[in-house]
Structure 1
Amino acid sequence: MFSTFSKVNSFLIKFFYGLVALFLGNYVIKFVQRVRKLPPGPWGLPFVGYLPFIRQDEYNHVTQLAAKYGPVFSFKCGQFDVIVINQWKFIKEALANEHLLGRPKATFIPGVMEHSSFAEMSGEPWKQQRRIALTTLRDVGLGKSEMEDSISDEIKSFIEVIKSYEGEPISISNKLSLSVSNNISTLIFGHKYAYDDPVILVLEKLRVLTNDTLRYFNVAAFLPTIVSLIIKLNLFSLSNFKELFKKFESHLDDEIDEHRKKDNNGYEINDYIDGFLNEMSKRQNEKDSTFNINTLKRNAATFYGAGSDTIANTLEWIMIYLVKYPEYQERIRDEIKQTIGLNRQPENVDRKEMPFTMAFLYESLRFNSLVPLNLLRRATEDTKVGEYSIPKDSLVTFNFWSVHHDPNLWDNPELFKPERFLNEDKSKAIKPPYLVSFSGGKRVCPGESFAYLQLFLYLVSILQPFEISAETGKDISLERVQKFLIRPKILPDFIFKNID
């Protein structure tokens, strides 16, 4: 009997070892097959992949990896295969690739953002949401003279705030963001906020926290299966971020409730929320429609964040460049005097007559590359870029920094030179296709023209009455720090001296 038991026990042990060997063999075969499909790249660790090794200056790090592994390389990042595409030749091809229009299946920050915005959708839902969003925003003023007038009025208020300091040093960051956010608020909510409104101050806290904590290669996005644990342990400030985001969503609930109370037939469309509610009403009988309140809140939050934070940060860099290179400040002001004078407010049409001002804006966008890596894409089918294979469901990012600082495209790219965007007789500013500050292709930022309008109007309106400088003895640093966006490592206080 003991002998029989021993034989059974021996058989079970061998069977167990056989299953383990089979599992490991199958794992190794699949691992080798997966790796053989992918472009070359660095190795990582089990489960977390290369994620722990990615430096804070992610844009520099992936550019250096491209120099080692080639213009299209890959690595395992948490749970996902990530393919990084560098060089304009390959990025241009990828932007036109229909199989690279997808987004990751989770939200940008899983566990914090539970529902997808249009920016996180793929396929037909994304197309429908984008089409309705663009139509609605145009209907309520985007690209129209009324919107330009509203921005000009907001800039007047901002200039008055600056004047109130009477030449004293000013910390400009939060004043810029409060002003710029009012422009997108008009389109989304149908109204502006006072600079001391408690609601907008909460939004400002959320903006600052996002800038200070959220990295591009963040744990939540690449290890979504452990996000709930990360939030419970309050690691990486995710629980704080989630708390503030809930406060923002609570405000959005209030805004939507106020819009739904309007006594009208089919909603009078004055802003984006009105337009979405109207479309939602039309589609109420559609099964699985993405036109619902959760999507509305996420879309509104996405538009608000993208429409305020990126512009405010770009204007911060513009202030730094104006002070770092005062000769350009004088050239822009001379162009202002020659074109519109120092009294009339600038208008969008003035851009055509102010080539150096536009060249300065283009160079500011190139030199800083505020969004150095695009929002993650997902391959919806097996595809290729050049000779490099991109398997289905791998995540893809475009290194725009590498394009904007490629010596094959730009003469001395490490230098700040607005003149590079002027034609030979300096009568026209030329924007080449490889200036991709707002991405490109079908996923290009829908607010690109809105952004250029604001940047131009703020820049000219600030330089009309003021000469900008730093405090005496203070050095202007061009050092960068990257979280999701590239921000100044040190943003100095500025002095706005009235030139009258």
Structure 2
Amino acid sequence: MQKVMSLLDNFQVSAPLVNALIGIALFWLVKYLFNTIKRIRSLPPGPWGLPIVGYLPFLGDHVYLQFDQLSKKYGPVYCLKLGDFDVVFVCDWPHMKEAVSNDALLARPHAAFFPGAVDDRSFGEMSGNPWREHRRLSLHILRDVGLGTSTLETLVKEEIDQFLTTLVNDGESVDFKKKISHSIVNNISILLFGHKYDHDDPAAIAISAANEEIGSSLNFAGVMAFLPWLTTIVFKFKLFNLAKVLKCFQIVDSHIQDEIDKHQEKNSQEVVDYIDGYLAEMKRREKQTKVDDNFSIDILRRNAASFYGAGTETVASTMEWVMIYLVKYPEYQDKIRSEIADVIGFERRPDFVDRNRMPFTMAFIHEAHRIGSVVANNLLRRASSDTKIGNHNIPKDSLVIFNFWSINRDPKLWPNPNKFDPTRFLTEDGTKVVKPPYLIPFGAGKRNCPGESLANVELFLYIVCIIQKYRVKVKPGTEISTEASFGLSRRPSELPTLIFEKISNSD
């Protein structure tokens, strides 16, 4: 005991040193509190959260609904602490219109969207010059290989012809969700790989299923997006259904890598698809001895995967909402068929240009976009410098979320916003369709979806071709729900089994 006391005596600290340590601790505490208060006062208003996790524990599955409700209490621009980040929400059109055109709000978060699951970034996750170079190159390649041209429209119509045959089932129901997903995948495959797949091709089926699983499993407000330091724990214990999601990423990556390998083996100078164009750009840079880590096979694979996933998810989800409202309101189906009879007839395949003479059909599509709100929130943005939205300060490195759901259900913009009503997009005499600037299903500004033109062509042609050939029905007594599920996109939680009844020209 005496030896222990003797040892303790050796560690005795003088009173001045103790006072100094306490003073330093108090100094840092005061500094921390001062900086915290300064940070909070510099941000838009919002509720307090918990230490470390912030407001994350209070968010449910349908975060866009909570974001909308919070805006009613704290104003259209407010702030939440989500994990490590200050996140500013924009929930009305005047502020969003300003924000989407603000170059200081074009950056993405420093961390990847799915840290640990995907190491390399697609151009959609890049910021600054790397993003600009990749976006410019991607749009250039896609236009060269047919995006926005009559050639691609013809290929889409050929795919739709094949798709329509899969809907015939002797008056019995079909799995529309699976069939439309496989068909949309083919349109993307034409642009990316230069070919499409048979509808029963195992590779196409596998990649469609993998993309669907990724889309439904990765909720927008995922833990890893806002608490990157949790990545190690999540991967170690395979939390949050991680093993299944990782397998899906591997399926997609492996499939795309096989396509890249085939393109490299053919050793052709002809550019017929996106992979050809990207490989050609890499060779051009090598000849110029440009060493650039932003152009690589890994990034090509991520770009292709992003196009594949986003291009399928949004269009397929929108088509599911379209089917919901076609069977819920069969009178609208009849109105579209009437326009088809007047403008196209029942023998000729529709062309995209026919939309200019089919105002009700286009109004129906716009209303499906609005009420479906497939993209309820934008992908996370980051302020690359101190900036403002309206009178609100947005400090550098704050994250910014545009809540499109709030815009699409704003009663100031849309009378009776919860009602499905295509006529809201028509002039009073019903002869013209009017799309207001605040309907932005594919985003707006420099970060808008690069596949918007293809999606518009697909949606019009698929809808018109289906109604031209079939009456879409459900079994008598079927309850049609408009409830939604939410992952990377918002889609019907339960699509009723659909019956496609072939019509005669006299119907």
**Normalising TM by the smaller chain, what interval?**
over 0.9
In the other structure, the counterpart of 2:183 is: 179
Deviation, 1:424, is 2.6
Deviates more, 1:233-242 or 1:463-472: 233-242
Pick aligned residue for 1:274 from 259, 271, 276: 276
**Does the residue aligned with 2:501 lie in a helix, a strand or coil?**
strand
Distance 2:311 2:406 in 1: 24
Matches within 5 A, 1:129-278: 129-163=134-168, 165-264=169-268, 267-278=269-280
Query: Deviations along 1:402-429, whole A, 9 cap, x unmatched?
Result: 1111111112111111011112322221
Give, in whole Å, the separation in 1 of the partners of 2:332 and 2:14.
84
Q: Of residues 373, 378, 381 in structure 1, which corresponds to 2:382?
A: 378
TM-score w.r.t. length of structure 1: 0.96
Which of 453, 462, 466 is the equivalent residue of 1:449?
453
Q: CA deviation at 1:19?
A: 3.8
User: 3-state DSSP class of the match of 1:283?
Assistant: helix
Distance of 1:14 and 1:379 partners within structure 2: 42
SS of corresponding position for 2:348: coil
Displacement after TM superposition at 1:105 (Å): 1.2
Distance 2:177 2:38 in 1: 50
Find out whether 1:480 has 2:487 as its counterpart: no
Structure 1 gaps, min length 5? none
Counterparts of 2:156 and 2:236, CA distance in 1: 42
Matches within 5 A, 1:62-73: 62-73=67-78
Q: Structure 1 138/5 Cα, relative in aligned 2: closer, same or farther at 3 Å? A: same
Q: Which residue does the alignment assign to 2:395?
A: 391
SS in 1 for 2:89: strand
Out of 303, 311, 316, the position equivalent to 1:312 is: 316
1:171–1:492 Cα contact (<8 Å) kept:
no
- Quote how far apart the aligned CAs of 1:4 are: 7.9
1:330 counterpart SS class: helix
Alignment partner of 1:290 is 2:294: yes
Deviation at 1:245, TM superposition (A): 0.5
Cα distance, 1:6 vs structure 2? 7.2
Matched, 1:75 2:80: yes
Offset of residue 492 of structure 1: 0.8
Aligned residues of 2:469 and 2:502 also touching (Cα < 8 A): yes
Q: Does 1:437 align with 2:441?
A: yes
Give the structure 1 partner of residue 45 of structure 2: 40
Deviation at 1:440, TM superposition (A): 0.3
Distance across 2 between alignment mates of 1:375 and 1:212: 16
In structure 2, relative to structure 1, the CA distance for the partners of 1:228 and 1:336 (3 Å cut) is same
Partner of 2:331: 327
Letter in 2 for 1:269: V
Q: Which residue of 2 aligns with 1:94?
A: 99
Q: Which residue is 1:352 aligned to?
A: 356
**SS state at 1:381 partner:** coil
How far, CA to CA, are the matches of 1:176 and 1:451 in structure 2?
13
Aligned residue for 1:121? 126
CA contact (8 A) 2:377 2:401 kept: yes
Find the aligned partners of 2:28 and 2:206 in 1 and give their Cα distance.
51
Residues 119-170 of structure 1, C-alpha deviation per residue, up to 9 Å, x if partnerless?
111111111111111111011011111111111111111111111x111012
Instruction: Please give the TM-score of this superposition, normalised by the length of structure 2.
Output: 0.95
1:375-426 C-alpha deviation (Å, 9 max, x unpaired): 1110000000110010000000101111111111112111111011112322
* C-alpha RMSD of matched pairs (Å): 1.6
Aligned-residue offset at 1:211: 3.1
- Structure 1 position 81, deviation (Å): 0.7
Aligned residues of 1:283 and 1:289 also touching (Cα < 8 A): no
Give 1:10 deviation, angstroms.
4.7
- Are the aligned partners of 1:355 and 1:422 in contact in 2 as well (CA < 8 Å)? yes
Equivalent in the alignment of 2:112: 107
Offset of residue 437 of structure 1: 0.5
- How far apart are residue 22 of structure 1 and its match? 3.0
In structure 1, C-alpha distance between the alignment counterparts of 2:402 and 2:180, rounded to whole Å: 29
* Deviations 1:70-115, CA, capped at 9 Å, x for gaps: 1100011011110001100000000111100111112211111111
1:368 aligns with 2:386: no
User: CA offsets per residue over residues 196-245 of structure 1, 9 Å max, x none?
Assistant: 22222221222232233211110111111111210221211123212220
Q: How many residues align?
A: 497
Query: Aligned equivalents of 1:379 and 1:215: distance in 2?
Result: 23
* 8 Å contact from structure 2 (residues 210, 251) kept in 1: no
Q: Which among 54, 58, 62 is matched to residue 53 of structure 1?
A: 58
Instruction: Say which is worse superposed, 84-93 or 279-288, in terms of deviation.
Output: 279-288
Question: 1:470 matched to which residue of 2?
Answer: 474
Q: Is the 8 A contact 1:280 1:292 kept in 2?
A: yes
Provide the rounded CA distance (Å) in 2 between the counterparts of 1:308 and 1:290.
Answer: 25
Separation (CA, whole Å) in 1 of partners of 2:170 and 2:220: 40
Q: CA separation in 1, counterparts of 2:380 and 2:31?
A: 30
Query: Is the 8 Å Cα contact of residues 197 and 204 (structure 2) preserved in structure 1?
Result: yes
Contact 2:313/2:489, CA 8 A, preserved across alignment: no
Distance 2:197 2:39 in 1: 52
SS at match of 1:235: coil
CA distance in 1, matches of 2:52, 2:432: 53
Using the TM superposition, give the Cα deviation of residue 286 of structure 1 relative to its aligned residue in structure 2, in angstroms: 1.8
CA positional deviation for 1:15? 4.3
1:236 is paired with a residue whose SS is coil
- Gaps of at least 5 residues in structure 2 are none
Deviation at 1:55, TM superposition (A): 1.7
SS at match of 1:384: strand
**Equivalent residue for 2:425, pick from 421, 427, 432:** 421
8 Å CA contact retained: 1:234, 1:240:
no
Residues 4/473 of structure 1: CA separation in 2 closer, same or farther (3 Å cut):
closer
Aligned equivalents of 1:50 and 1:203: distance in 2? 35
Q: Deviations over 1:46-79 (max 9, x none)?
A: 1111111112111110000000011100011011
Give the partner amino acid of 1:270: V
Superimposed CA distance per residue, residues 268-308 of structure 1 (whole angstroms, 9 cap, x where no aligned partner): 10000000011111112223341111110110001111111
